A = this chain, B = another copy of it.
Amino acid sequence: MKLSTRTRYGVRAALELAANQSKGPVQIKTIAHRQDISIKYLEQLMAILKSAGLVRSIRGAKGGYILAKPANQIKLSDVFNALEGPVTTVECLENKNYCARVTDCVTRQVWAEVQQAIMSVLQSMTLQDLINRTKDKKTLNYQI
Enumerate chain A interface residues (CB-CB to B < 8 A): 1-3, 8, 11-12, 15, 76, 84-85, 87-92, 98-101, 104-111, 113-114, 117-118, 120-122, 125, 130, 133-135, 140-144
Q: A2-B90, A107-B130, A110-B121 are in contact. List 4 more A-B contacts (CB 8 A).
A: A2-B89, A12-B107, A100-B143, A114-B121
Copies of this chain, complex-wide, total: 2
Residues B110 and A114 in contact, CB atoms below 8 Å apart: no
Q: Which of B8, B98, B143 contacts A101 (CB 8 A)?
A: B143
Residues B114 and A122 in contact, CB atoms below 8 Å apart: yes
Q: From known contacts A8-B90, A118-B117, A122-B114, infer whether A108 and B3 are also in contact, taking CB-CB under 8 Å.
A: no
Chain B residues with Cβ below 8 Å from A144 are 90-92, 98-99, 105, 107-108
Residues A106 and B142 in contact, CB atoms below 8 Å apart: yes
Q: Which of B15, B87, B107, B140 contacts A142 (CB 8 A)?
A: B107
Residues A1 and B133 in contact, CB atoms below 8 Å apart: no
Chain B residues with Cβ below 8 Å from A105 are 141-144
Residues A130 and B143 in contact, CB atoms below 8 Å apart: no
* A12 vs B105: C-alpha distance when bound (angstroms): 11
Chain B residues with Cβ below 8 Å from A113 are 121
* A92 vs B84: C-alpha distance when bound (angstroms): 19
**Cross-chain pairs A/B with CB under 8 angstroms, 5 sampled:** A1-B87, A1-B118, A11-B107, A109-B133, A117-B121
